[in-house]
Chains A and B, each alone.
Chain A
Amino acid sequence: MMSNNPYIPMPVTITKIINEVDTNDIKTFRLTFQNKEDEQKFKYLPGQFAELSIFGKGESPIGIASSPTEPGYVEFTVQKAGVIVPGLVTAALHDLEEGAEIGMRGPLGKSWPIEFLEKKNIVVVGGGFAFTTLRSLINYMLHKDNRKRFGEITVVYGARNPGLLLYKNELAAWEKRDDIKTNITVDKGNESWKGREGFVPNVCKEVAPSPKNTVAVICGPPIMIKFTLPVFYDLKFAKENILTSLEMRMKCGIGKCGRCNVGFKYVCSDGPVFSMAELEELPRDF
């Protein structure tokens, strides 16, 4: 199926599935395009998302976890959602095997503001599985053609325990590089854990990045955000220089269905990326 209709998904094939965590409920799906034209049209930047579609189940907005510097495929890291009842689309995705065909609409939403980030120091703060579009951003900045465009890169990434850290191989590779300062932390370690223990906000306090010419990009569970923001305000970061990605229930993903409306913005098309200064202008309704 090919179409200029924004509601029609393009066909993609799952070419690789990576089980990310011990609990088996977070997997990374690598998708490749079935039509060359679709692939050429799918121009994205870190921070954007797509609607993943499974006929008979529906669609789900998922952040793009790969970087545009890796051509030929797009990756998504998906958690099996649902508290009492399993989520339709995410559960169905988890049941699929390599080789299966699904649909995809996108890229959707605004990316991390790359031009604004250029020539600045970047502090990336992530918690839990909300690290996906941050991974995209880090891999984008680390690419050899891009690294010079950005200043110092500092990462603070935490999970509840070592088994819940995503992208373990990449984390290890970043720790070996000298052009990125990687601070990985877990709330509670285990026998084999040799790294840092502690909550993300506390690690941010220790790392204490200077606000000078620096932008903080923060994604994580609400509780982490709540305690991390004051740390950055105390460090004298301006609201314009703290960015985050908002989550709101979505359907169309293109600013038409009204579902993700908050104040005069649609989170899907005006966001999901917002600065704290922009969020301050919105009613507390998300």
Chain B
Amino acid sequence: MAASVLKKVVIEKINEVAAVLMQKGTLIAPVKEEAGANFREIKDPKDIYLDYYNSILSPKMVFFPQMEDFVKYQLAKPKADAKIVEMNLKPAFLFGVRPCDVKSFEILDKHFYASGIIDTYWKARRDNTTIIGYAFDLDKPVDSADFYNTLGIGAADPEGSDIFIVKKDKELLLKGITKKGEALLGELSMLEKADAKDEKYFTDYVKKGKEKKTRFMKVDDKAVAKKYEDIFENNEYWTKMSDACLSCGVCTFVCPTCYCFDICDETIFGKGTRRRIWDACMFTDFTLETSGHNPRTKVSQRLRQKVCHKYSFSVRKYDVISCVGCGRCTRSCPVNIDIYSMVEEATKL
């Protein structure tokens, strides 16, 4: 493989990098909010919050926003007047994504992009975005909820990013991973050339990232998928796991690999929008049919759907566990339901 480009910049100068990216298109990066960090469009480079651990909401919302408008309509007789909502996308730069979240994009690509009908919106936003990944700070402790090691992900894995950033004291090292990333690095004139020491630092950092320990258990994709097929009807297990669950759906909203959505019409005084909007298999009416039939009336059945979807169905359908061990669901759950412990307990059955 040809040596790829490595550049560096002192952290204060990140404002200049941001300014150029904002000129080229839309810059999305972590900002500090009351509840914690989240990915938002940057209007002022000073808002970029590089010292964050991980965002509360996952960056999937950049490609799969909570609401996506399809059609605007005006009700009228004999026919409604309807117009497709154009996306009018500018090039986007998604800055500062952690390696586990970068991995989640690959998993959702399999669903929205690489199999069956292509999701127009996901594809357009994905094609249009340059991903600038950012290694976890290896000098800081990992959050106790994280378990991305279990899914084979390291704290400083550059794969999947277009550009990957590693922090070195007061500098950031930026590596071009894809052609798209290298080209962008070439256009950022404030960046300095990195030397051989930086190269070594970067390589070592990626290696050390693999040794940084999150919670870990050995899971074999096929074995865990089969296990969940076997215990699908084990009501004792599912009732125990879901005992405290409130069906609030927060775990799915923060999850980078959850993709369920509703399509609905919102009309006010004859004017309206058809849009898709995040939904959750944890909600009681998710599978409620108009006839009154509902195959998942119990919370144990809904939690089962969520866990089996990630650790079993997805393996069978897309050949990948659709969880990256980011720990968000565990951190956000009001009653401390922890998917890692659920899987751990299942493997012991």
Residues of A that sit less than 8 Å from B by CB:
1, 3-8, 11, 55-59, 81-83, 87, 90, 99-101, 103, 247-249, 251-252, 254-259, 261, 263-265, 269, 283-286
- Identify 29 residue pairs between A and B in the complex whose beta-carbon atoms are under 8 Å apart, listed by A's number: A1-B71, A5-B70, A7-B70, A7-B120, A11-B79, A55-B82, A56-B75, A56-B272, A81-B291, A90-B290, A101-B78, A103-B82, A248-B287, A248-B295, A251-B261, A251-B263, A256-B259, A257-B259, A257-B263, A258-B260, A258-B261, A258-B309, A259-B260, A259-B279, A259-B287, A261-B281, A264-B316, A283-B308, A285-B301
A264 near B260 with CB under 8 A, answer: no
In the bound assembly, the distance between CA atoms of A283 and B345 in angstroms comes to: 21
Q: How many residues of B contact A (CB 8 A)?
A: 51
Main SS class of interface, A: loop
Closest 3 CB pairs of A and B: A258-B260, A264-B316, A101-B79
- Chain A contacts for B40, CB-based, 8 A: none
Residues 94-112 of B at the A interface (beta carbon under 8 Å): 111-112
A-contact bits for B47-58, CB 8 A (1 contact / 0 none): 000000000000
Say yes or no for B347: interface residue by CB 8 A criterion. no
- Chain B contacts for A259, CB-based, 8 A: 260, 262, 279, 286-287
Smallest CB separation, B74 vs chain A (Å): 9
Q: A261-B309, A285-B301 are in contact. List 11 more A-B contacts (CB 8 A).
A: A3-B84, A5-B70, A6-B119, A8-B84, A81-B291, A248-B289, A258-B260, A264-B316, A283-B229, A285-B232, A285-B295
In the bound assembly, the distance between CA atoms of A167 and B122 in angstroms comes to: 43
A58 near B117 with CB under 8 A, answer: no
- Chain A contacts for B78, CB-based, 8 A: 99-101
B263, B288, B316: the one within 8 Å of A252 (CB): B263
In the bound assembly, the distance between CA atoms of A257 and B116 in angstroms comes to: 13
A261 near B73 with CB under 8 A, answer: no
B116 near A263 with CB under 8 A, answer: no
In the bound assembly, the distance between CA atoms of A82 and B312 in angstroms comes to: 34
Say yes or no for B179: interface residue by CB 8 A criterion. no
Residues of B that sit less than 8 Å from A by CB:
70-71, 73, 75, 78-80, 82-84, 111-112, 116-120, 229, 232-233, 259-265, 267, 272, 274, 276, 279, 281, 286-292, 295-296, 301, 305, 308-309, 312-314, 316-317
Nearest CB in chain B to that of A285: its residue: B295
- Chain B contacts for A261, CB-based, 8 A: 281, 305, 309, 313
In the bound assembly, the distance between CA atoms of A59 and B265 in angstroms comes to: 9
Smallest CB separation, B1 vs chain A (Å): 36
A256 near B313 with CB under 8 A, answer: no
The winner among A3, A7, A83, A259 for most chain B CB atoms within 10 A is A7
- Chain A contacts for B276, CB-based, 8 A: 7, 257
- Chain A contacts for B229, CB-based, 8 A: 283
B117, B260, B274, B308: the one within 8 Å of A55 (CB): B274
In the bound assembly, the distance between CA atoms of A263 and B119 in angstroms comes to: 22
B120 near A5 with CB under 8 A, answer: yes
A249 near B289 with CB under 8 A, answer: yes
Q: Using A57-B265, A264-B313 as known contacts, say yes or no to A87 and B117 having CB atoms under 8 A apart.
A: no
Smallest CB separation, A209 vs chain B (Å): 30
In the bound assembly, the distance between CA atoms of A103 and B79 in angstroms comes to: 10
- Chain B contacts for A256, CB-based, 8 A: 111-112, 116-117, 119, 259, 261
B116, B265, B295, B317: the one within 8 Å of A58 (CB): B265
- Chain B contacts for A55, CB-based, 8 A: 71, 73, 75, 80, 82, 265, 272, 274
In the bound assembly, the distance between CA atoms of A256 and B68 in angstroms comes to: 14
- Chain A contacts for B292, CB-based, 8 A: 83
Nearest CB in chain A to that of B122: its residue: A256
In the bound assembly, the distance between CA atoms of A81 and B289 in angstroms comes to: 10
In the bound assembly, the distance between CA atoms of A121 and B45 in angstroms comes to: 71
Smallest CB separation, B262 vs chain A (Å): 6
A83 near B287 with CB under 8 A, answer: no
- Chain A contacts for B313, CB-based, 8 A: 261, 263-264
A6 near B117 with CB under 8 A, answer: yes
In the bound assembly, the distance between CA atoms of A55 and B274 in angstroms comes to: 7
- Chain B contacts for A58, CB-based, 8 A: 263-265
